[in-house]
Amino acid sequence: MLRRAVQTYLDHLTVERGLSRNTLASYRRDLDRYLETLEAADVTELSAVTEAEVFSHLSQLRTGSPEHPALSTASAARAMSAVRGLHRFAAREGIVAHDVTRDVKPPAPPKRLPKALDVDQVTRLLEVPTSLRDKALLEFLYGTGARISEAVGLAVDDLSFEGDPAVTLHGKGGRTRLVPLGRYARTALEAYLVQQRPELASKGRGTPAVFLNQRGGPLSRQSAWTILHRAAEAAGLPVEGPHAVSPHTLRHSYATHLLDGGADVRVVQELLGHASVTTTQVYTLVTVDRLREVYATSHPRAR
């Protein structure tokens, strides 16, 4: 019987998996709705369920019925997780011959667009009065799209101001990439390196790191985050909640503004250090008509 199979599965979740009471209640609700779908199709045994019935149930979750409202993508995916768990368990325990949900994929949630500041907001942030080091860090993050780990791990030898100024960034998986330095970032870095870094370095034991703390050691990720937090607050930008400005916000803004300016998505992929262009293409959801040029002609602070 269907309901006996479901109860056996719920008992397994209770005893073997130790799920909480609330989680079990959610599983029971999701499976009760699944049983309604099967019983309406005159299916009385779990072994008689076909892939078609499972797909039909998924469709009803998304479209709704007189008895049940339509579920969001996330809620439908959660409900289908209970259904797939039931069938996997039944196949493993020999209750059914095979798992008919194996090829039924839960609905994928829509991709969320990365948070990005507009150019005016970035300008306000970068014009906040601050120290030479903090100014250089903020200009560097936005001017190169560097990850915060890449910024605090940056060594003096990674910078090149000769010819076409550029920086070598050491990214994930040991991959390195060469990224152009725009005039604003270059100017801010040079001012910091000449006027403030030597004083900071004199307090430490010697480190090749570009960005130093007040004791002369490498700046930490948390300290870099705090620098941005203070600047964002001074610029009147959100520092709490889902839209709070973070170091990654500047990286998102870098990519979005490049594409808005006409940069080719594959160029942006290289600049960001993404292994796959698929990762970068999330930004093209808002800039799909603007993929034309490259960094030097498109980034607001490269000119």
How is the chain split into domains, by residue range? 2-92, 119-298
Q: Quick check: 245 and 118 in contact, CB under 8 A?
A: no
Look at residue 31 in the predicted model and tell me its pLDDT.
94
Residue 182, classified by CB atoms within 10 Å of its CB into exposed (0-12), middle (13-18) or buried (19+), is buried
The model's pTM is: 0.60
Q: Where does residue 29 fall: left (phi above 0), alpha (psi -120 to 50 degrees), or beta otherwise? A: alpha
Annotated catalytic residue, options 57, 84, 87, 147: 147
Q: Is 172 a catalytic residue?
A: yes
Q: Which secondary structure element, helix H or strand E, spans residue 170, and what is its range?
A: strand 166-170
> Per the residue annotation, which of 98, 172, 175, 303 is the catalytic one?
172
Q: Between the CA atoms of 145, 150, 151 and 153, what dihedral angle is there, to the nearest 10 degrees?
A: -170
What pLDDT score does 114 carry?
A: 58
Instruction: Decide: 205 and 155 in contact? Cβ < 8 Å.
Output: no
The answer to whether 295 is a known catalytic residue is: no
- Mapping DSSP to helix (H, G, I), strand (E, B) and coil, where does residue 179 land? strand
In a structure prediction context, what are the per-residue pLDDT tens digits for the chain, which is 303 residues long? 788 889 999 999 988 888 788 889 999 999 999 999 999 899 989 989 999 999 999 988 988 888 888 888 888 888 999 999 999 999 999 989 899 998 888 777 666 655 789 999 999 999 999 999 999 999 999 999 999 999 999 999 999 998 899 999 998 878 899 999 999 999 999 999 999 999 999 999 999 999 999 999 999 999 999 999 999 999 999 988 878 898 889 998 998 898 888 888 888 888 888 766 666 666 665 544 344 445 556 677 766
From the list 28, 88, 229, 248, the catalytic residue is: 248
Active-site choice (84, 133, 251, 299): 251
- Candidates 283, 295, 299, 301; catalytic one: 283
274 is catalytic: yes
Res 288: pLDDT: 42
d(CA 90, CA 12): 11
Provide the pLDDT for residue 274: 79
Helix, coil or strand: residue 13: helix
**CATH top-level class for 2-92?**
mainly alpha
What CATH code would you report for 119-298?
Answer: 1.10.443.10
**pLDDT value at residue 74:** 82
Q: One of 57, 186, 257, 274 is an active-site residue; which one?
A: 274
205 is catalytic: no
Nearest Cα residue to 106 out of 69, 134, 81, 127: 81
- 10 Å CB burial of residue 80 (0-12, 13-18, 19+) is buried
